[in-house]
């Protein structure tokens, strides 16, 4: 499995970007008084909290297996994306509350041009950092960095909408457009947050490998079935970048231990070649023994 400790430096990059964008977008809000720009600044605060959490989680996930966590610490990354999604939703609620108040009591904007320019600089920073994090997250299969990158991209599109809305307010004088833009931002943020929470929950519930990877396992199994080998209890799950596949392999009972062992080694090697970072567990059984079919389910049937 690829070394994951270098990922920590990218969490620091995300933290630096969040601090910079909070400063820029906060300044834009103070210059203009725009609740739309305030919503953008609040989301950057969430970015900072998420980046700090990502740093902590990636530090844990990079640790090697130990006596207490014998399968490693990769699953810690799902906690990061789940908490980040929850923070995004809470930020959206806060934005909506402020926006509704401003919708009822609209206020004129000030220094809109300067405020928008400052906010745009912050958006460019987020765009660059998001592209870097997404590329690294894909390469190392880090759900934490991918979640952070997607969150930053939501921020970029949010900022684009806010900037367009505030510019229209400045041009038309329609003050209620500003809180309406903020409400639209809140809805968009809630959608992004629930997607992250959903992905985190799926990972914590040991969801099977994606269809394409499951098909790869199926092709390997079919190849050996054509040679007279049978399989059952084929199961898979994924923990961040780590994959787990287990199966029972049924062969004639008169095979030698050495012959059965060689077959399992061959199957395991093919599976590891088809699925990166895959831990494979095989169990050899004689096909003639009825007891071999009593453990096809997750829980073995009790012996009468």
Q: At 125, is the pLDDT very low, low, confident or very high (cuts 50, 70, 90)?
A: very high
Given a cut of 50, is residue 301 above it in pLDDT?
yes
* 220: Cα separation from own chain's centroid: 29
Task: Measure the CA–CA gap between 227 and 229, rounded to whole angstroms.
Answer: 6
- The average pLDDT across 104-121 equals 79
Cβ proximity of 263 and 251 under 8 Å? yes
- The average pLDDT across 73-97 equals 71
Query: Which residues 6+ apart lie within 8 Å of 256 measured at CB?
Result: none
Token pair for 280: 């494979």
Given a cut of 60, is residue 2 above it in pLDDT?
no
Of 188, 28, 35, give the one whose Cα is nearest residue 113.
28
Task: Measure the CA–CA gap between 40 and 22, rounded to whole angstroms.
Answer: 9
Write down the pLDDT at residue 30.
Answer: 86
Q: For each of the domains in the chain, give its residue range(s) and CATH number, in order of start.
A: 7-204 (1.20.1510.10), 211-293 (3.30.70.1350)
The DSSP code for 111 is: S
Cβ proximity of 1 and 62 under 8 Å? no
Task: Measure the CA–CA gap between 106 and 115, rounded to whole angstroms.
Answer: 18
Given a cut of 50, is residue 155 above it in pLDDT?
yes
Sheet strand arrangement including 230-239: 230-239, 242-251, 278-286
Taking only the tens place, the pLDDT of each residue in 14-70 is 889 889 988 898 888 888 887 777 777 877 777 787 777 777 777 776 677 777 766
Torsion-angle region of 222 (φ positive above 0: left; ψ -120 to 50: alpha; else: beta): alpha
- The average pLDDT across 159-179 equals 78
Taking only the tens place, the pLDDT of each residue in 196-251 is 677 667 666 677 888 899 999 999 999 999 999 999 999 998 876 678 999 999 99
Task: Measure the CA–CA gap between 282 and 149, rounded to whole angstroms.
Answer: 37
Which H or E run contains 278? strand 278-286
Does residue 216 or residue 152 have the better pLDDT?
A: 216
pTM over the 0.85 mark = no
Write down the pLDDT at residue 1.
Answer: 42
Token pair for 294: 């009593």
Torsion-angle region of 72 (φ positive above 0: left; ψ -120 to 50: alpha; else: beta): left
Region of poorest pLDDT, from 77-86, 127-136, 283-292: 77-86
């Amino acid at each position: 499995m690829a070394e994951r400790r270098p990922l920590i430096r990218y969490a620091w990059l995300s933290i630096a970007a969040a601090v910079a964008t909070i400063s820029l977008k906060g300044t834009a809000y103070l210059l203009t008084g725009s609740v739309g720009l305030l919503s953008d600044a609040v989301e950057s605060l969430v970015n900072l909290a998420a980046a700090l959490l990502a740093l902590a989680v990636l530090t844990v996930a990079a640790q090697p297996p130990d006596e207490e966590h014998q399968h490693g610490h990769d699953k810690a990354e799902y906690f990061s994306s789940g908490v980040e999604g929850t923070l995004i939703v809470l930020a959206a609620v806060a934005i909506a509350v402020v926006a509704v108040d401003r919708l009822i009591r609209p206020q004129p904007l000030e220094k809109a041009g300067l405020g928008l320019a400052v906010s745009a600089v912050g958006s460019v920073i987020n765009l660059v950092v998001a592209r870097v994090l997404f590329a690294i997250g894909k390469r190392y299969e880090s759900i934490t960095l991918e979640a952070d990158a997607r969150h930053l991209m939501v921020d970029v599109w949010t900022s684009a909408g806010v900037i367009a809305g505030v510019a229209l307010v400045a041009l038309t004088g329609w003050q209620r457009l500003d809180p309406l833009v903020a409400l639209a931002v809140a809805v968009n943020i809630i959608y992004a947050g629930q997607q992250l929470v959903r992905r985190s929950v799926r990972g914590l519930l040991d969801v099977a490998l994606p269809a394409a990877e499951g098909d790869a396992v199926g092709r390997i199994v079919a190849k050996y079935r054509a040679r007279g080998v049978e399989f059952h209890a084929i199961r898979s799950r994924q923990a961040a970048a780590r994959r787990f596949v287990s199966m029972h392999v049924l062969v004639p009972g008169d095979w030698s231990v050495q012959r059965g062992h060689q077959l399992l080694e061959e199957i395991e090697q093919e599976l590891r070649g088809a699925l990166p970072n895959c831990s494979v567990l095989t169990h050899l059984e004689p096909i003639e023994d009825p007891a071999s079919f009593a453990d096809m389910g997750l829980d073995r049937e009790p012996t009468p």
